[in-house]
Amino acid sequence: MKMRPSTIVVMSLVLCLSSAMVSFSSPPISGKGPEARAQQSQNVGLMGQIGGNTPDVAVQGNYAYIGVGPRLVILNISNPTKPIVVGQTGILPDIVKGIAVAGNHVYVANWGDGGLRIINVANPAAPYQTGFYDTPGWARDVAVAGNYAYVADYDTGLRIINIASPIAPTEVGFYDTPGGAWGVTVAGNYAYVADGGSGLRIINVSNPAAPTEVGFYDTPGDAWNVAVAGNYAYVADRDSGLRIINVSNPAAPTEVGSYDTLRYANGVAVAGNYAYVVDSVMGLRIINVTNPAVPTEVAFYDTPGWARDVAVAGNYAYVADFWAGLRIINVANPALPYQTGFYDTTGELYDVAVAGNYAYVAAREGGLRIINVANPMAPTEAGSNDTPGSAWGVAVAGHYAYIADDWAGLRVINVANPAAPYQAGFYDTPGCAIDVALAGNYAYIADGSSGLRIINITNPAAPTEVGFYDTPGNAGSVALAGNYAYVADGGSGLRIINITNPAAPYQTGFYDTPGWAYEVAVAGDYAYVADGIGALCIIRVANPAKPSLAGIYDTPGAAYGVAVAENYAYIADYDGGLRIINIANPTAPIEAGFYVVGNAYAVAVARNRIYVADGDGGLLILYLAPNHLYLPIAMRSFSPTSHRP
């Protein structure tokens, strides 16, 4: 059973909600064999999926291979100004993190429970999986040399997989590095591992069955990626930029030069006299390394997303720009880089609302994305609007989508034409707008440290605040029922606010949940609170002045989002995926099904379909069906790891 690596999972959300970061070690995910999806799902069928982040890219010939959430996507780049999708895999068991190409196969480091996936791309229009090896850790990166794939497997170090038979890869050796293996490259008889806090580790792999460490260099920050050219290893050191290490003597590597790229150096490629470093929000940095002792930046290109990886081929740098997809940068003149073409994705999804044939998704830095879900098995993006802030929450009424847009407050988007949405109005709330709910002529904003804000939206072009209630915690979610607003208030639990008079709201009652209240849904006499570190709290609110705990269900991950329909609560459980809880008896909730992929943040239910905003994994469209008995045959036969159709 694999354990998720310890990580800070709340990132910008908690920075906005609170001055203190919240961290935890995520619990295990049940299920291990990627060959059988049944162990990663129970009583839930997959109908469709779209989008996700792009953390990695590899290039061979006329094709670029990128990760888009849980899929490998193949782009024809023969015309770099207009990359065209020619093929993609089905849903892999987890997020695509690392990619290597050799001949007719692509080797995918599939994070989570996915391990190493081997994809046949002889026909780029019809890629299919030929084999896999479930590494014991969390596959983060992969390099290929000869008959071996070298996997940076996070907490279990370097794993060496014999791929002579792509349908039956086998592990032949491993070396457990002391840090967390994030990146790997191979040159000659050595594997160079970017090992997080322990820096660069140099492993002799001349005998793949008995790899041995011959030397290391402890970089000042966290080593995330590495490239080797000649006698030098170029390390993308997340906290300190580019570090250039002389490895002519692998037993005694020494640093000869460095260049601070200012933010978070995530990836590096070397071509000719230049190192190309991707530096998160600072984009692509081009460093002249003719003299490794004195590297100098000659130019940069600020990509619109968060630059995570880079490959260089010919006159072009291909940047995996996370939520902004693939960016193709012309570097024929390294001093004057410019974007030639791009391929956009839906990016990282944090909230979802459904109306008619469309799902409206809050995609953080990607703004509002509108997905046509008329055919749930083949969802397509219909339109988008790049809001000025970070889109955390979304609600829809009539021809308008209302976006909780972080520091930019409430944004009102006209979606009468889904292909061409535009901003109709806005109201800049004083805090960080994280969630929004609608009732009548009012929008209710969970506004972080400034509590609940009530906005009159009678005229969507000129919304105005009519009242507010400053909750004691950090308002992250709001649900409405009757004359009450129910606020998930971070560390202070559930707050119940009387909104009979929107101009003078006041607190009626509260219940201090044991964790961090992220989201709330209300149905009948109960409020359902996604309470952070692994719990659904069911609060009886028949008497709003005296709410009481009725039941609790301990989810395996971190409960971030919740929706309720009929006798079920649907939990977006970061690390634990979608968890479906039978709440027919609120005092004794039991799990009815689950589906695990990516990092679930929010969930909506409409017309018996379940829509999960799955963070890195894009939008998932799922179906609750015990034993899949009620799924159409086409859906029943779908397999995320199927061979050639």
Q: Which domains does the chain have, with CATH numbers?
A: 44-343 (2.130.10.10), 362-617 (2.130.10.10)
Separation of alpha carbons 162 and 172, rounded Å: 6
First to last CA, the chain: 31
pLDDT at 26: 28
CA dihedral 551, 553, 558, 562 (to 10 degrees): -70
Q: Which of 164, 170, 168, 223 is nearest to 199 (CA)?
A: 223
Q: For residue 322, which of 304, 302, 337 has the smallest C-alpha distance?
A: 304
Section 242-259 average pLDDT: 98
Please give the pLDDT value at position 588.
97
> At residue 559, does pLDDT exceed 70?
yes
Q: What is the pTM of this model?
A: 0.90
Determine how many CB atoms are found less than 10 A away from the CB of residue 20. Answer: 10
- Token code pair at residue 368: 């509002």
Q: How far apart are CA 91 and CA 490, in angstroms?
A: 34
Render 53-109 in DSSP notation, one character per residue: -B--EEEETTEEEEEETTEEEEEE-SSTTS-EEEEE----SS---EEEEETTEEEEE
The type of residue at 60 is Q
Q: What percent of the chain has pLDDT over 70?
A: 91
And the tokens for 350? 């944090």
**pLDDT value of residue 150:** 98
DSSP H/E element including 455: strand 452-456
What pLDDT, on a 0 to 100 scale, did the predictor assign at position 534? 77
Burial of 413 (0-12, 13-18, 19+ CB in 10 A): buried
Count of CB atoms situated within 10 Å of the CB of 579: 27
Per-residue pLDDT band for 11 (boundaries 50, 70, 90) equals: very low
pLDDT the model gives residue 533: 81
pLDDT at 418: 98
Phi/psi of residue 16, nearest 5 degrees: -75, -40
**638 pLDDT more than 70:** no
Helix (H) or strand (E) holding 634: helix 633-636
- The identity of residue 473, as a single letter, is G
Measured CA to CA, the distance from residue 455 to residue 437 in angstroms comes to 10
Q: Determine the pLDDT at residue 16.
A: 54
Cα dihedral 576/518/457/358 (nearest 10): 0
* Residue 636 in this model has a pLDDT that exceeds 90: no
Q: Computed from CA positions of residues 291, 293, 298, 302, in that sequence, does the dihedral angle turn out positive or negative?
A: positive
- The count of other CB atoms within 10 Å of the CB of residue 8 is 11
The letter for the amino acid at 34 is: P
118-163 pLDDT, tens digit each: 999 999 999 999 999 999 999 999 999 999 999 999 999 999 999 9
Residue-level pLDDT at 3: 42
Q: Please compute the mean of the pLDDT values over residues 54-66 and round it to a whole number.
A: 98
Helix, strand, coil shares, percent, the chain, to 5:
5, 50, 45
Res. 634: pLDDT tops 70: no
- Torsion over CA of 74, 301, 321 and 403, rounded to 10 degrees? -130
In total, the chain counts a number of residues equal to: 645
The answer to whether residues 205 and 191 touch, using CB atoms and an 8 Å cutoff, is: yes
pLDDT in tens, 196-206: 999 999 999 99
pLDDT of residue 263: 87
In this prediction, residue 625 carries a pLDDT of 80
* pLDDT for position 27: 26
Span 164-170, average pLDDT: 97
* Pairing of the two strands 309-313 and 316-320: antiparallel
* pLDDT 10s digits, 339-382: 999 999 988 899 999 999 999 999 999 999 999 999 999 999 99
Q: Which residues contact 590 (CB under 8 A, 6 or more apart)?
A: 553, 581, 582
Q: How many CB atoms lie within 10 A of CB 187?
A: 16
Mean per-residue pLDDT for 514-535?
95
Please state, in angstroms and rounded to a whole number, the distance separating the CA atoms of residues 418 and 505. Answer: 35
Q: Give residue 189's identity as a one-letter amino acid code.
A: N
Identity of the residue numbered 220: P
Asked if 350 and 369 touch (Cβ cutoff 8 Å), the reply is no
Cα separation, 72 vs 267, whole angstroms: 19
Contact 54, 306 (CB under 8 A): no
Q: Which residues contact 157 (CB under 8 A, 6 or more apart)?
A: 137, 174, 175, 176, 177, 181, 193, 195
- 32 vs 50: CA distance, rounded Å: 24
Q: What's the CA dihedral at 603, 19, 5, 114 to 10 degrees?
A: 30
